[in-house]
Structure 1
Amino acid sequence: MPESKISAKLTPADREAVMQAINTIKEKLPFLVDLTTEERKSLPKLGDKSRAFVSKALEMATQNPDFLPRSFDLDEMRRDVELFEALYPILLSLTQLHELVDDTSVAVGSEAYAAGLMVYNYAKASGKGAGLDSMVDDLGRRFARKSKKVQTEGSSV
């Protein structure tokens, strides 16, 4: 069997606790939005380079509110900046967690698939006459290729 990088078990109780923790996070962040791809593309992005710009703009507006139109909501800008800054470390932590869970899932899935391939190949090679033919054929369907149509529509043989 190939080298196993991961040998662990997630108990149903631990899985449920993790799912509950995720639900708790969602409950504590009831204002989260779900943007469409088009909405996401159309919005200006506040990244690392723009954070200082926004911070300085807020400071300028706070110290000199007289040049802003009356319709400009400085308190709303302040709330947006504060919420962004509060969410940023959460986003970093969740991104790291997502990468770890994704990498672990890929690795353990690969290990399971490699082991399954070994079982299939061993059964094909030495399972003849052991009553495994129908199971080997069933597993072999995973690798069956669909035949391409030789004849295109409107052409004749």
Structure 2
Amino acid sequence: MTQNLTSLDLAEELPQLDAALDTIDRILKAFVSLDADQMRRLSKLGDKTESFCRQTAAILDQNRQALPPGFDLDELKRDFAAFDLLRPRLNRIEALAAKCADTQIALGSDILSASYDGYALLKVFGKADNVAPLRDSLRSGIRRKTITPGKASAT
């Protein structure tokens, strides 16, 4: 094989990973899921609006007597607290998910590279009868590396 970005034997770690994911799933049951339409319609809190909202909450807290009975400042403060606690955990989950995605891409690339190398070897060693179905399954326009004994090239 000309490429081997990663090698993993997940047999021992998978039960632990699955248990950890089950725990995370259980903990996140109270979290909401939004569809694309809901997501599009919602106002988004960005850096500038977050600063505005924090300043507004502080001023509202200083002027509680001016708030109407239906305005739940305590809920706003609880939302901010949960928001602040969730942010670093979400950043960590996103980083872990990106690492998993990168690893899956690397594994897929290793698989594809080794398959192309193996296909080229079958052709070189005269296993043409076995190669015909493989050749038919390759789509045109896919850049692949092939090897010949002693050197590698792109075709």
Distance 1:121 1:57, change over 3 A: same
- 2:119–2:131: 8 Å Cα contact kept in structure 1? yes
**Bigger Cα displacement from structure 2, 26-35 vs 85-94:** 26-35
| Runs of 4+ that moved beyond 3 A | none
Partner of 1:141: 136
Which structure 1 segments of 5+ residues have no match? Answer: 146-157
Higher RCO (C-alpha 8 Å, min separation 6): 1
Partner of 1:88: 87
Task: Report which of the two has the higher share of strand.
Answer: 2
Give distance in 2, aligned partners of 1:139 and 1:69: 73
After the TM superposition, which residues 24-63 of structure 1 pair with which residues of structure 2 at under 5 Å, given as runs? 24-63=23-62
Distance 1:127 1:49, change over 3 A: farther
Partner of 1:120: 119
Q: CA deviation at 1:70?
A: 1.9
Letter in 2 for 1:66: Q
- 2:2–2:113: 8 Å Cα contact kept in structure 1? yes
Matched, 1:10 2:16: no
Letter in 1 for 2:8: A
Give distance in 2, aligned partners of 1:49 and 1:111: 44
Distance 1:49 1:19, change over 3 A: farther
Partner of 1:73: 72
Give distance in 1, aligned partners of 2:78 and 2:136: 57
Partner of 1:152: none
Once the two structures are superposed, residues 93-148 of structure 1 have per-residue CA deviations (whole angstroms, 9 ceiling, x without a partner) of 011111111111101110111001111121123233xxx62x42332332257xxx
- 2:4–2:110: 8 Å Cα contact kept in structure 1? yes
- 2:57–2:76: 8 Å Cα contact kept in structure 1? yes
SS in 1 for 2:13: helix
Q: CA deviation at 1:91?
A: 0.5
Letter in 2 for 1:80: D
Letter in 2 for 1:5: L
SS in 1 for 2:30: coil
- 2:61–2:73: 8 Å Cα contact kept in structure 1? yes
Letter in 1 for 2:66: F
TM-score of the superposition, structure 1-length normalised?
Answer: 0.79
